[in-house]
Amino acid sequence: MNRIRTAVLVVLLLPATVTAQSVTDGVLAIVTGDHDAAVRILSPYADEAKDPDPLAAFFLATLFHSGRVRGDDNYLRTCGLYQTAARTTGSPVARQAELLLRDLAGPGATALFWELCEQSRRDHQNTARSRQEPSALACAMYARGIRPGSSPAGDWQAGVLNGSYLDRMPQTRFQECLLAGGTLGLHHGFEPVTITVEPGYWVSIDLLGVTVPDHGNEKRFEQVWAGPGAVFLPVRYTQLLSGPLRNQRRNCIEIAEWLPASEPGKWMLLWRLYEVRGVELKDIAIEELVYRPSRPDLTTRGTLEDFVRLEVNDAGEPGWVALARR
């Protein structure tokens, strides 16, 4: 009976909403009982970061939810897939997925549960993206070879090879590749990060800017952090409780990089502080925290905990304290 109902659902939905044959094959694999094949076919479509297929996510979620396939954590995997099916713009199964999501979570779901659910969803998206994208390092090496006299294969050949990545990588990743192959260098240490601020709300930071959710869509803020030869510290996220009653949440993000100082031969640590406010990332402060006589590498760059601390004073006002002298 369940297979008949599934087949009826396929007949009703696929002609109007599914154009990719692979998604159709995945749903038909469920109907025929080949669940491993269904997971293999549907996962890339459900976990596509930029344009996930809500039907692929929905049917994949039902497999994990029913226990017909097992993963590392079926509970969170199911939750993340139902989120994708329910909240992707134009989803034909949004209502059904939302009901199943709330049934899965139960009335006592905590903020931590929703945070773990969202993190599971984005982790699978990042894993899928890393499997699908060609090597960013190779792209950057070809970009470096474009510079006159720098490529044993010749500048023209390097340009052709680098250009071949343009159609195979997302635009943002290709621009990062050009940056790393140019003045930034290959050993900059920047690691893209996605921060869950609250249930259903996240901030994704890469070398070229910030992405935040905005009413079912994504809002992008272009911002090139990197200077020539920069060495980045890991991005840090801190939530402060400010105000007289310590009940005002302040979501702070810090980005810091070692850069050449104005004095020849020296390097400075440039620190930027931002606050997440709704769908905006507000500039709060920028300071040169400390200087060094030579360029740090990835083993000696340190972490923000070594140089600056965010805090709330007795009056409930947020601020920061530099921990190292210039």
One domain for residues 244 and 324: yes
Chosen domain end from 105, 129, 153? 129
One domain for residues 124 and 9: yes
Rounded percentage of the chain residues whose pLDDT exceeds 90: 26
DSSP, collapsed to helix, strand or coil, labels residue 308 as: strand
One domain for residues 25 and 111: yes
Q: Express each pLDDT in 93-128 by its tens digit.
A: 888 888 888 888 887 777 777 777 877 787 777 665
User: Residue written as tokens 């159609």?
Assistant: 167
Q: Express each pLDDT in 258-280 by its tens digit.
A: 999 988 889 999 999 999 888 88
One domain for residues 108 and 148: no
Residue at 263 is within a domain: yes
DSSP, collapsed to helix, strand or coil, labels residue 251 as: strand
Residue at 261 is within a domain: yes
One domain for residues 173 and 259: no
Neighbouring residues of 160: CB distance < 8 A, sequence distance ≥ 6: none
Q: Which two tokens stand for residue 229?
A: 């030869």
Count of domains in the chain?
A: 3
Cα 82 to Cα 211: distance, rounded to the nearest angstrom: 22
pLDDT interval class at 152 (50, 70, 90): very low
- Apex CA 180: angle with CA 177 and CA 184, to 5°? 150
Residue at 206 is within a domain: no
Residue at 298 is within a domain: yes
Query: Whole domain around residue 265: which residue ranges?
Result: 226-326
* C-alpha distance from residue 286 to each of 222, 235, 283, 315, 320 (Å): 18, 15, 8, 23, 12
- Per-residue buried b or exposed e for 256-288, using 16+ beta carbons within 10 Å of the residue's own CB: bbbbebeeeeebbbbbbbbbbeeeebeeeeebe
Residue at 321 is within a domain: yes
One domain for residues 138 and 175: yes
> How many Cβ atoms from other residues are within 10 Å of residue 78's Cβ?
24
What is the reported pTM?
Answer: 0.59
Residue at 201 is within a domain: no
One domain for residues 142 and 116: no
